[in-house]
Amino acid sequence: MTTPNTQSQHDVSPHTYAHAHAPLNLSTIALGFVRVAVCTPELRVADVAFNTKAICAAIDKACSHKVHLLVLPELCVTGYSCGDLLYQRSLHEAALQALEHIANHLAHLRQHGGCCDVVLGLPLHVAGKVFNCAVFIANGVVAGVVPKTFLPGTGEFYEERWFSAAWDSSVSAVQLGSKPQTKTGTVFNVPFGTDLVFTATTMPEYSVGIDICEDGWAAVPPSINAALSGATLLVNISASNEVLGKAEYRRDLVKAHSARCLAAYCYASAGAGESSTDLVFSGHCIIAENNRILCETTRFSFATEMAIADVDVQCMTAERIRNNTFGSSKPSKALRVVHIDAPRDYGTEGNQPSVKQLPAEVPVLMRPVNPAPFVPQNRDQRSETCQEIFDIQTTGLAKRLLHTRCSTVVIGVSGGLDSTLALLVCAHAFDKLALPRAGIVAVTMPGFGTTQRTRGNAEQLAEVLGATLRVIPIADAVRQHFRDIGHPESLHDITYENAQARERTQILMDIANQMSGIVLGTGDLSELALGWCTYNADQMSMYNVNASIPKTLVRYLVEWCAETEFAGAEAAILRDICATPVSPELLPLQNGSDGAEIQAQETEKTIGPYQLHDFFLYCTVRFQFPPRKVWFLARCAFREYDNATLIKWMTVFYRRFFTQQFKRSAMPDGPKVGTVALSPRGDWRMPSDASAALWLQEMEQLQRMNAEA
């Protein structure tokens, strides 16, 4: 049973500051997105001239897509599978010349308005040894060189035959080229070592650490030090051959490393152009962000393959701030920061939002944006998620019953989604404890707005489940209450609605006292976020199994129950409940032209679509995004809504989220099931009188920019 706010809230207007009317910068860079490409260029083994041309073509392609950082494979300048040709001085000289050519090519692109940073691999002579190196080229200048730490020497790998490991080096800088440092091309003294992290001075979130192939497979990859020193973009230039099962293991490794480091892991591997004498390379390139794969290339192609994604470095920084385990971890050694320029902000190019007005079209963002972040998109994964959530809910309730030595649960059932899910959880918990389901007292309390459809579904479901059904109409009791407080029944205001909600809660609590039971709450996470519940009515219970389940997920859970746990006689009832519009059913019914009853109250027409509010909630609480970024992502995710509609419901969300905190501060116990929860004893600690001024001010700026479009 869901009801509106219990008290009329004054309009909260943000204070006016000098900068309040300044337009918001809504470019992807300003919002924290860095465009990264991982690429396997076409390659011929030991044909440095051909490879250089292919690398430059890949750079041109990346720049045409406004990429900020391009990651290329291990030893891509020469080819990884050169074997003993790596002893040849001619190959090393050609590689250095190629590096200078590539750097000059990038410098030329920069002079003409488009350039990206590049990480690529080549062999390098340093102080009488040969190292397998990654070179970072920033703005057309070689910024630093990182040697490979772990050289594989087992199975099919023989790198120890040709290369020295990073710890065999005693130098901290290398000479590249024969001229002193210039503004373009290679430079005379370049930082060298595994202790380098490349960071933009004016955008510290853009910070890059480097692994080379086997480094990423080691127990302690070198890039962990970079991550703990601030790097949000970890790159791995690799040459990983293919054997059965290795691709999936590689994906898991890349995902896991991105999760461990709270970073993006950008992995580029050698392709099918490498020698096939004994091995085959597939060109598998992956970009993962905090345990989520954003994109990957097609394997086994001889043509240049590239995958591009906008990586949210701002989000990674926020994740690290809120994770005290990461924050308390220290790098095993101090790193040298190599200062580079921030990625170029392309502004209004490429359909990016203007800094003066909002665009009518959907912004371009090269990353998936899930419009239902609480709901897994894959059906099998969604089924697994539903099973786990249902088990968490059931176990939580079962533990509470064991602790209180209760064999009776009282639950108000309305025929709506929330009370249906709670009833199903209750039935499963009773089965788990071998308690008779007759101890579940399902109470339906028809009022002024109850339809035959919802009442019938509630009563039928309770009977089919074997619960004890009680039907207690509340109309007469509420009318008596109206007379007691002097409220006209014809005035359908908030008092009219909330009086019904409190009458129902009183009935449930008193029946629980009669039967030495507990009242099971049914309200969901979305209602708690918006305060769409009546204080000391459906907001209150003795245990709430739905407290951290968002509305967009409740429906899937009930559908899953109809397919699995309750697939018998209950299934048809559950499916009809899923097809019923969400309503608190508190206003009197109306009659249609055919005499049929019509529900006068639909929740989403009043407060907005739950799919939007759940999206806003996830972005705001899970990732702490500011309103401008939430709007931007919502615009990408919901093409069916225009700017004005999104701004309207976002404003409702922020206003209600702040003013309704007092209800969450007094919420009952309930199990956490996901990464977003609002219990004051768990994830969310917020003062009930916090001001929404900053957030509403930004919404006003978005509204003003949209009006000027």
Residues carrying an active site annotation: 74, 148, 213
Q: Can you tell me the distance from the alpha carbon of 135 to that of 118, in angstroms, rounded to the nearest whole number?
A: 8
C-alpha to C-alpha distance for 545 and 418, rounded to whole angstroms: 10
Q: Which residue has the tokens 């590049």?
A: 118
Counting Cβ atoms within 10 Å, is residue 668 exposed (0-12), middle (13-18) or buried (19+)? Answer: middle
Q: Determine contact, residues 537/4, Cβ cutoff 8 Å.
A: no
Query: 135: which strand partners?
Result: 120, 145
Q: Which of 517, 550, 548 is nearest to 400 (CA)?
A: 517
Handedness of CA 454, 456, 459, 460 (dihedral sign): negative
**Residue 316's Cα: distance from chain center in Å?**
11
Amino acid at 323: N
Query: DSSP state, 263?
Result: S
How far apart are the C-alpha atoms of 261 and 270, rounded to whole Å?
Answer: 24
Q: How many residues does the chain have?
A: 709
Cα separation values, 475 from 88, 419, 536, 589, Å: 94, 20, 20, 13
* Residue type at position 122: L
Q: Nearest CA to 544 among 359, 679, 363, 644?
A: 679
**CA–CA distances in Å: residue 180 to residues 17, 124, 177, 183, 189:** 51, 19, 8, 10, 8
**Do the beta carbons of residue 519 and residue 669 sit within 8 Å?**
no
Residue with token string 């099971």: 520
Torsion angle in degrees (nearest 10) through CA of 693, 696, 702, 708: -80
Whose structure tokens read 């380098």? 196
The span from the first CA to the last CA of the chain, in angstroms, equals: 41
CB 335 within 8 A of CB 225: yes
Q: Buried (b) or exposed (e) across 348-357, using 16+ Cβ within 10 A? A: eeeebbbbeb
- The rounded distance, in Å, linking the Cα atoms of 675 and 553 is 13
Would you call 543 helix, strand, or coil by DSSP?
Answer: strand
Whole-angstrom Cα distance, residue 499 to residue 510?
17
Q: Is 480 helix (H, G, I), strand (E, B) or coil?
A: helix
At residue 73, what are phi and psi to the nearest 5 degrees? Answer: -70, 170
Q: How far apart are alpha carbons 559 and 554 in whole angstroms?
A: 9
CA 606 to CA 584: how far, in whole Å? 11
**Alpha-carbon distance values, 67 to 42, 71, 215, 345, 610 (Å):** 19, 10, 25, 11, 35
DSSP state of 281: B
The tokens describing 692, both together, are 């929404």
Tokens of 160: 């120890």
